[in-house]
Structure 1
Amino acid sequence: MAQQGYPPIHGHGYPSAQPVQGGYPSAQPVQGAYPPAVPVYVQSGPVAPSQWQAGLCEWYKDFGLCIVTCCCPCITFGQTAEIIDNGITSCASAAAICFLIQAVAGCGCLYTCGFRSKLRAKFGLPESPCNDCCTHWCCSCCAFVQEYRELKLRGFDPSKGYQASAPQQAMVQQVPMQQYMQK
């Protein structure tokens, strides 16, 4: 049932979805959602396929990062994992888990390749040059540098952490609870 002044609502408080030409919807404000003064951004559907902006063997383009990654690969991995996981996994916990799995079992790639898969899904990247686990097994340092550089080229700064590095266009506007409680 629609209240006076508001459009009919379907589902979970949002107007029904409109088809998008081209098959790849973009994040746009939903008009008529409750409360009407607060823009709500909804993104659905698959991510448009794209290409890697950083090559797997382009470690020489950031020599400082290459040195850090060769000496302490868990640091580079932890920084990228925090960004890839939208701050859910902290840099320290991802680095520690990677280090422990590698030190105890010698197969840290089984943990780290999952984050490469998340990165590819996030940006619609191809599984290249081979599957994610093989890439991390054979060339883990190169893969860590590539993933770090990919995030940098897309506007993130893994060295700053998730909260400080998210590009402005990727951030969703947060609305304080007091606005909802005011009459």
Structure 2
Amino acid sequence: MQPPMAQVQPGPSQVEEVEWNTALLDCFEDPGTCCYGFWCGPCLACTVSGRMKECYCLPLCDYCTTSAMALCGLPFAVPPAAYGMRVALRHKYKIKGSLLNDLCVSCCCTWCSWCQMHRELKLRNPKPTVISIQNVSTLHL
């Protein structure tokens, strides 16, 4: 009979959490995103959703939810897409925060939240630079 083998249990992984690259109200860090969010907020939200590899139309759920709540006479509704995207983005990039903070920001500063998420994605996933290289060969005689 063999003695039982000792099993090594991995300890909790300590992942260093980072801050957001820009603050919630840092519109002047990226005026283009700020203008995009101000003039066409739903389009900005759909862009963020697409960059997160989700359905582009997902943020439209927020309009349906808040409209239905308003029709029922309830003045307050949690925008599910804004909240879910914020939580997902924060977890994906290991950004400091809490579910309660995400909830408050998503409910009270929805458009600022979408702008902050857009800036974060732009800074973390810049568009690739295409470099064209031509082969030049010379014939030496």
TM-score (norm 1): 0.52
Describe how 1:1-183 pairs up with structure 2 within 5 A: 48-84=16-52, 87=53, 89-91=54-56, 93-105=57-69, 107=77, 109-127=79-97, 131-156=101-126
In structure 1, the gaps of 5 or more residues are 1-18, 24-44, 158-164, 166-183
* CA offsets 1:155-179 (integer angstroms, 9 cap, x no match): 246xxxxxxx8xxxxxxxxxxxxxx
* CA offsets 1:84-132 (integer angstroms, 9 cap, x no match): 2xx2x221x213223322333353523311110000100111117x611
Q: Where does residue 14 of structure 1 map in the other structure?
A: none
Q: Which has the higher contact order (CA 8 A, sep 6+)?
A: 2
* CA offsets 1:11-52 (integer angstroms, 9 cap, x no match): xxxxxxxx8xxx8xxxxxxxxxxxxxxxxxxxxx77541111
Is this contact kept in 1: 2:78–2:103, CA < 8 A? no
Q: Letter of the aligned partner of 1:90 in structure 2?
A: C
Distance 2:44 2:34 in 1: 9
Distance 2:78 2:66 in 1: 4
Task: Tell which structure's C-alpha radius of gyration is larger.
Answer: 2
Deviation at 1:55, TM superposition (A): 1.1
Q: Letter of the aligned partner of 2:48 in structure 1?
A: T
CA 1:103–1:47: 2 relative to 1, 3 Å: farther
In structure 2, the gaps of 5 or more residues are 1-9, 71-76, 129-141
Deviation at 1:146, TM superposition (A): 0.6
TM-score (norm 2): 0.65
Partner SS, residue 50 of structure 1: coil
CA RMSD of aligned residues (A): 2.7
Tell me the matched-pair count: 112
Q: Where does residue 33 of structure 1 map in the other structure?
A: none
